[in-house]
Amino acid sequence: MPSTRAIRGRIRSVKNIAQITKALQMVASSKMRRAQERVEQSRPYAEQLRELVSRLARVTGEDVGNLALLKQRPVRNIGYVLITPDRGMSGALSSNINRKAATSALDQQKTFAEQGTRPGVEYVAVGRKGRDFVMRNSFHLTAEFTNYGDRPSLIDASAIAQVATEAFLNESVDVVYMVYPKFINTVTQQPTVAQLLPVQPPGDDSNAGHETIEYIYEPDAASIFEALLPRYIDVQVYQALLETLASFYSAQMVAMKNASDNAKDLIQDLTLTYNKARQAAITTQILEVVSGANA
Amino acid sequence: MATHTTMHVEVVTAERELYNGEADELIAPGTEGMLGILPRHAALLTTLKPGTLRIKLNGAEEPLFVSGGFLEVSNNQATVLADTAEHAEEIDQARAEEARRRAQERLAQTTSNTERAELQAALQRAIERLRVSDIVRRRRGPRIEMPQQEQ
């Protein structure tokens, strides 16, 4: 049994850890609420935009195939935009996203290998955790965006989208996927893979009443569509960023709550051991005194 | 319920919602020219250039700056999807003035065509910002009472 002094030291250090995790838990929970609000606020715009894109895709019909951002082509290289948190202390969140990206890339390569091609994979890392992962595994990293903070703006997202779009347009990659943790609720974050490029116009999920409206287009449907698509990509990235932040803070909150609870349990166990050790020491001393007096 | 016909107007950016309510008239800077939208306007879809968006209701007016985006009108509902948008009160005049001066200076020096186009756009944005903010300073009419939005 360790000495009482050693146990006292451990109790003190665990108490310190508990204090820190408890503080971080509270910070994370308030930041999570704000991150969630931001996700909510971005929704009206994103929904309207999605509706416009799907409507214009229907209206422009065959002409659509000519737009560079929509063009499917044989895949020789795959691009991944890997969106992860900048910081840790969030349990398994970062490694789950990274694993999702890596397995998705492997699956893709396997599928193409069956068709006789072997496409390369390139990464654009957003967030430090993803960048570190890509570097550690010596995957091909084309760009990195780190320290995007708590309030990324549409301009930040637009910069990321532009890197992906340029790579797609100059044919260094032929398809771009985005991997990010979808925020489901406080305890669940779902690492998700979504195709960013070529743009797949969303299906029409609104009621069919819209179909019959004949729009006046100014200047014309095709040019509006062309102007709309880059925005659509920006917003997809922007929303993914916001969801990543909401996921990160909720994962951090849960992880820190678990850590605080564990610390509390540990303190209880250690206190018990400490008291036992103390009693044992006293008993031994009494025994020594008694046996000394008897002798 | 108003006795006359109004339309519903929504102004949203990716970051927030700036206006969501009724209006008698909407004046928007379309790329093909200024547009006046009245209630029961025909379905319309257009791109916007940097400029002033005016929403009018019961003689009151709400001017907004938009840096570009899209306007959709259908079913007596006008939706403005702005790249960025600001209430006139939010515009920092000194900053806009500074941006305009900088853009003008650099425009005089640059030779590259792409840079020239970018600076022209920046200059345009600064000028329009100042214009919107001027409207408010000289305003006589009342503001539109905005429905309270929860924070």
Do B11 and B85 fall into the same domain? Answer: yes
Question: What is the Cα–Cα distance from B49 to B98, expressed in whole angstroms?
Answer: 21
In the predicted model, what is the mean pLDDT of residues A209-233? Answer: 79
Within-domain flag for B142: no
Cβ contacts of A49 on chain B, cutoff 8 Å: 81
In the predicted model, what is the mean pLDDT of residues B63-87? Answer: 89
**Low-confidence winner among A278-282, B1-5, B60-64 (lowest mean pLDDT):** B1-5
Of B61, B86, B29, B44, nearest in space to B145 by CA: B61
Within-domain flag for A162: yes
At B147 the pLDDT is 56
At A211 the pLDDT is 55
Residue A205 confidence (pLDDT) above 60: no
Do B80 and B97 fall into the same domain? Answer: no
Within-domain flag for B1: no
Among the partner-chain residues B14, B31, B43, the one whose CB lies closest to the CB of A45 is: B14
In the predicted model, what is the mean pLDDT of residues A10-37? Answer: 94
Question: What is the Cα–Cα distance from B151 to B144, expressed in whole angstroms?
Answer: 19
Mean pLDDT score across all residues of chain A: 88
At B139 the pLDDT is 65
Residue B144 confidence (pLDDT) above 80: no
| Residue A88 structural domain | 21-202+213-256
Do B52 and B124 fall into the same domain? Answer: no
A159: pLDDT confidence band, cut at 50, 70 and 90?
A: very high
CA atoms within 13 A on the CB side of A227: 21
| Residue B104 structural domain | 92-132
Do B28 and B96 fall into the same domain? Answer: no
Give the tens place of pLDDT for each residue, A170-198.
889 999 999 999 998 888 899 999 999 88
| A39, A48, A162, A243, best to mutate vs chain B, most B CBs in 10 Å | A48
Question: What is the Cα–Cα distance from B18 to B66, expressed in whole angstroms?
Answer: 11
- DSSP structural state of residue A213: P
Top mean pLDDT of A19-28, A59-68, A221-230, B115-124 is at: A19-28
List residues in chain B touching A: CB distance below 8 A.
10, 12-17, 30-32, 42-47, 70, 72, 74-75, 79, 81, 83-84
Do B105 and B60 fall into the same domain? Answer: no
Do B78 and B15 fall into the same domain? Answer: yes
At A119 the pLDDT is 87
Do B27 and B73 fall into the same domain? Answer: yes
In the predicted model, what is the mean pLDDT of residues A139-147? Answer: 90
Question: What is the Cα–Cα distance from A25 to A222, expressed in whole angstroms?
Answer: 50
| B10, B15, B17, B37, best to mutate vs chain A, most A CBs in 10 Å | B15
Question: What is the Cα–Cα distance from A83 to A101, expressed in whole angstroms?
Answer: 10
In the predicted model, what is the mean pLDDT of residues B140-148? Answer: 63
Residue A62 confidence (pLDDT) above 60: no
At B151 the pLDDT is 40
Q: Could you tell me the strand order of the sheet in which A175-185 lies?
A: A140-145, A120-126, A77-83, A175-185, A188-197
Q: Which of residues A263 and A50 earns the better pLDDT score? A: A263
Mean pLDDT score across all residues of chain B: 83
Residue A243 confidence (pLDDT) above 50: yes
Lookup result for tokens 């100059």: A170
Q: How far is A43 from chain B (nearest CA, A)?
A: 8
Within-domain flag for B43: yes
Cβ contacts of A38 on chain B, cutoff 8 Å: 15
At B140 the pLDDT is 61
Within-domain flag for A4: no
B150: pLDDT confidence band, cut at 50, 70 and 90?
A: very low
Within-domain flag for B37: yes
Q: How far is A147 from chain B (nearest CA, A)?
A: 19
User: What is the CATH classification number for the domain harbouring B21?
Assistant: 2.60.15.10
What the block records as the tokens of B137 is 């300073």
Do B58 and B36 fall into the same domain? Answer: yes
Percent of chain A surpassing pLDDT 70 = 94
Number of domains making up chain B: 2
**Low-confidence winner among A20-34, A161-175, A182-196, B96-110 (lowest mean pLDDT):** B96-110
Among the partner-chain residues B14, B30, B43, the one whose CB lies closest to the CB of A235 is: B14
Within-domain flag for B117: yes
Within-domain flag for A236: yes
Within-domain flag for B108: yes
Q: How far is B32 from chain A (nearest CA, A)?
A: 7
Within-domain flag for B149: no
Cβ contacts of B10 on chain A, cutoff 8 Å: 44, 48
Q: At A261, give phi and psi (nearest 5°).
A: -60, -45
Number of domains making up chain A: 1
Within-domain flag for A267: no
Among the partner-chain residues B30, B47, B79, the one whose CB lies closest to the CB of A48 is: B79
Q: How far is B107 from chain A (nearest CA, A)?
A: 23
| B81, B83, B86, B125, best to mutate vs chain A, most A CBs in 10 Å | B81
User: What is the CATH classification number for the domain harbouring A155?
Assistant: 3.40.1380.10
Cβ contacts of A153 on chain B, cutoff 8 Å: 15
Cα dihedral A10, A13, A18, A21 in deg (nearest 10)? -130
Lookup result for tokens 């922007």: A238
Within-domain flag for A249: yes
In the predicted model, what is the mean pLDDT of residues A53-70? Answer: 73
At B115 the pLDDT is 80
Question: What is the Cα–Cα distance from B113 to B99, expressed in whole angstroms?
Answer: 20
In the predicted model, what is the mean pLDDT of residues A280-286? Answer: 93
Q: Is B61 exposed, middle or buried (0-12, 13-18, 19+ CB in 10 A)?
A: buried
Within-domain flag for A262: no
Q: Is B59 exposed, middle or buried (0-12, 13-18, 19+ CB in 10 A)?
A: exposed
Residue B111 confidence (pLDDT) above 90: no
Give the tens place of pLDDT for each residue, A108-140.
988 888 888 888 899 999 999 999 999 999 999
Do B33 and B84 fall into the same domain? Answer: yes
Do B62 and B110 fall into the same domain? Answer: no
At B88 the pLDDT is 79
Give the tens place of pLDDT for each residue, A81-102.
999 999 989 989 999 999 999 9
Q: Which of residues A81 and A52 earns the better pLDDT score? A: A81
In the predicted model, what is the mean pLDDT of residues B37-57? Answer: 90
Residue A64 confidence (pLDDT) above 60: no
Within-domain flag for A61: yes
| B10, B12, B31, B83, best to mutate vs chain A, most A CBs in 10 Å | B12
Here the contacts of B100-103 (C-beta below 8 Å, separation 24 or greater) are B100/B126, B100/B127, B100/B130
Beta strands B69-74 and B77-82, pairing class = antiparallel
Q: How far is B43 from chain A (nearest CA, A)?
A: 5
Within-domain flag for A51: yes
Within-domain flag for B145: no
Q: Are B72 and B45 in contact (CB under 8 A)?
A: yes
Beta-carbon separation of A224 and B46 below 8 A: yes
What is the three-class DSSP state of A38? helix
